[in-house]
Amino acid sequence: DVKVTQSSRYLVKRTGEKVFLECVQDMDHENMFWYRQDPGLGLRLIYFSYDVKMKEKGDIPEGYSVSREKKERFSLILESASTNQTSMYLCASSLGNYNEQFFGPGTRLTVL
């Protein structure tokens, strides 16, 4: 069974802290994605990666960075967390472009 896992289900951090969210997929997918989801706004793409060490900005990259050192792992980094980054963060992977995406369970991040 295909699987995307995220390092935490719930996370509470303080303003200014550096935050790492990790995502691992076991499907050998080339593409990986980080989204944030807020009520009424749907899914907004933060960053995606189509290969190891490759990354592309999505719609809302400001305040975030990413790292993909290995094919199966895609990390989202909040360099200095702010309260407006309180959100649900979803990781996904896909085989090829514009194909079905497989999602992790999400990380609900609260920044105090």
Partner 1 sequence: SQQGEEDPQALSIQEGENATMNCSYKTSINNLQWYRQNSGRGLVHLILIRSNEREKHSGRLRVTLDTSKKSSSLLITASRAADTASYFCATGSYSNYQLIWGAGTKLIIKP
Shortest Cβ 101–partner 1 spacing (Å): 6
Binding range to partner 1, per CB under 8 A, among 14-22, 43-51, 66-74, 76-84 = 43-51
In angstroms, how far is the first alpha carbon of the chain from the final one? 37
* DSSP per-residue string spanning 56-110: EE-S--TTEEEEEEETTEEEEEESS--GGG-EEEEEEEESSTT--EEE---EEEE
Is 11 a binding residue for partner 1 by CB under 8 A? The answer is no
Pair of tokens at residue 12: 């509470």
Is 4 a binding residue for partner 1 by CB under 8 A? The answer is yes
Is 61 a binding residue for partner 1 by CB under 8 A? The answer is no
Interface residue list for partner 1 (CB under 8 A): 4, 31, 33, 40-45, 48, 50, 56, 58-59, 88, 90, 92, 97-106, 108
